[in-house]
Amino acid sequence: MLNKLRLLTPGPTPLPESVRLALAKDMVHHRKADFHQFFAKVQENLKLLFGTKEEVLPLSCSGTGAMTAVVYSLFAPNEKVLVVEAGKFGQRWSEICRLRGLNVVVLEIPWGHAVQAEDIAKALANDCSIRGVFLQVSETSTGVLHPVKEVAEITRNLDVLLCLDGISAVGISPCPMDEWGIDVLLTGSQKGLLLPPGLALLALSPRAWDKANSLEPGCFYFNLPAERRKLAQHETNFTSPVNLLAGLEASLDLLLKAGLEAVYRKQWALTMLVRQGIHALGLEPLAATNYTWGLTSVKLPAGIDGKKVLAIAQEQYAVCLAGGQDHLKGRIVRIGHMGWVDWADLLAGLYALKQSLQQAGGFSGSRDYLEKAMASYQAALLVEPGTELPQVMLRS
Ligand SMILES: *Cc1c(COP(=O)(O)O)cnc(C)c1O
């Protein structure tokens, strides 16, 4: 009861003080000068975050709303698209595309693995009527990072729009939209952006805009060309989520002042901290390679009830971890390391995980796992983000 609740989940996440105070600001009217001024600044900063010269549109909805907006604005019924299903969120793309009446070709990947760019190249070569590729940058249900840069090298030279769900990647690991040749990048506020849920952000490449402009709107609320026209006047088409945008102004200030390089470096180091910690505990990550930088999925030892582990962590240690989805329910624990969390929160998380596992089934790990985790974190802060630490370190 007297513990501080630690949200180590892949969204929502803890929020920094500057953002919480910004969220509490007085209301301004979304059609007046006060709003236009700060919204214009937010727009410029969003372009830096997304790595694009194009507009970044805010939408009042969770991340799935932006996924819906993309499917309904960029594709007409009966068009053929390729969806990479490597987890729960890949499946969501398929569900939305089918509801829109698209002809969906599924590329299924075992959960815990990343798609290979060659497999996408092959699928596109086999069927030149495919007009879009849908995938996640980071598949949050498994903790996998897909090689989207390599995929974009294929799609940018074809008449195929690459539509990326970057909900657990934007602000967490690099995904420079223009440089990599991505057509659609979207995210939600409650993952890497240090904000509460309820705001989605989305950017389109010039050729994706051409496509959107050529189609009849598929849906009244999510009309992207209409949103873009309003954005030129520093407004949104319908009433803006004023407080969330004030919070976004503060969170972008925080992230951009630190520098995106430093943000990604921190995320990489936290990933190394958690992976080393679970390794030292004798546990295995679900994603052996191609792992994402905002969460780590941990396989539970046989015979341990995952639900019980989560309940003990929450009730006795005030650490909120996430479980698995679908067939991974009860079989993995997902440790979120995105949002306003730092090394100390994750040491607490590792300790809570170890104690909860022990209480749930007699599991016992190594004694100095926290020191090892911390040593990896510090070593990772010194290397180029994405560089594997020497194997000797991980084994020691
Ligand atoms: C969280 C998440 C979603 C779902 O977002 P909502 O905000 O719950 O709609 C979709 N895709 C990915 C990759 C996510 O991490």
Tens digit of each residue's pLDDT (9 = 90 or more) over 84-109:
999 999 999 999 999 999 999 999 99
Residues 234 and 283 in one domain: no
Cα 59 to ligand 1 centroid, rounded to whole Å: 14
Contact 22/161 with Cβ under 8 angstroms?
no
Q: Is residue 3 part of a domain?
A: no
Q: Is residue 182 part of a domain?
A: yes
Cα 170 to ligand 1 centroid, rounded to whole Å: 12
Question: Stretch 210-222: mean pLDDT, rounded?
Answer: 95
Query: What phi and psi values does residue 7 have, to the nearest 5 degrees?
Result: -85, 100
Domain end call among 257, 284, 319:
257
Instruction: Name the residue with tokens 């223009």.
Output: 178
Question: Is ligand 1 within 6 A of the CB of residue 306?
Answer: no
Question: Stretch 73-87: mean pLDDT, rounded?
Answer: 98
Question: Is ligand 1 within 6 A of the CB of residue 91?
Answer: no
Q: Is residue 38 part of a domain?
A: yes
Distance, CA of 377 to chain centre: 21
Residues 130 and 41 in one domain: yes
Residues 181 and 195 in one domain: yes
Q: Is residue 12 part of a domain?
A: no
Question: Is ligand 1 within 6 A of the CB of residue 68?
Answer: no
Contact 120/133 with Cβ under 8 angstroms?
yes
pLDDT higher than threshold 70 for residue 395? no
Residues 198 and 65 in one domain: yes
Cα 396 to ligand 1 centroid, rounded to whole Å: 36
Residue-number span of the structural domain to which 100 is assigned? 17-257
Interval 146-160: pLDDT, tens:
999 999 999 999 999
Interval 254-276: pLDDT, tens:
999 999 999 999 999 999 999 99
Rounded Cα distance between 144 and 90, Å, is: 12
Atom of ligand 1 nearest to the CA of 64: 9
**pTM strictly above 0.75:** yes
Domain end call among 229, 257, 285:
257
Cα 198 to ligand 1 centroid, rounded to whole Å: 11
Question: Stretch 42-63: mean pLDDT, rounded?
Answer: 98
Residues 59 and 160 in one domain: yes
Contact 192/171 with Cβ under 8 angstroms?
yes
Domain count, the chain: 2
Question: Stretch 131-147: mean pLDDT, rounded?
Answer: 98
Cα 63 to ligand 1 centroid, rounded to whole Å: 5
25, burial (CB in 10 Å: exposed 0-12, middle 13-18, buried 19+): middle
Residues 63 and 193 in one domain: yes
Question: Is ligand 1 within 6 A of the CB of residue 11?
Answer: yes
Q: Is residue 276 part of a domain?
A: yes
Question: Is ligand 1 within 6 A of the CB of residue 359?
Answer: no
Residues 87 and 235 in one domain: yes
**Residue closest to 50 by CA, chosen among 337, 255, 340:** 255
Residues 252 and 287 in one domain: no
Residues 276 and 251 in one domain: no
Question: Is ligand 1 within 6 A of the CB of residue 64?
Answer: yes
Domain end call among 210, 231, 257:
257
Helix axes 260-280, 242-258, angle to 10 degrees: 80
Rounded Cα distance between 100 and 134, Å, is: 14
The enclosing domain of 191 has a CATH number of 3.40.640.10
- Determine what percent of the chain falls in helix, strand and coil, rounding each to the nearest 5: 45, 15, 40
Rounded Cα distance between 59 and 256, Å, is: 22
Rounded Cα distance between 80 and 128, Å, is: 10
Q: Is residue 84 part of a domain?
A: yes
Whole-number mean pLDDT of the chain? 96
Token pair listed for 60? 């009042």
Residues 219 and 102 in one domain: yes
Residues 34 and 163 in one domain: yes
Q: Please, which pLDDT band fits residue 314 given cuts at 50, 70 and 90?
A: very high
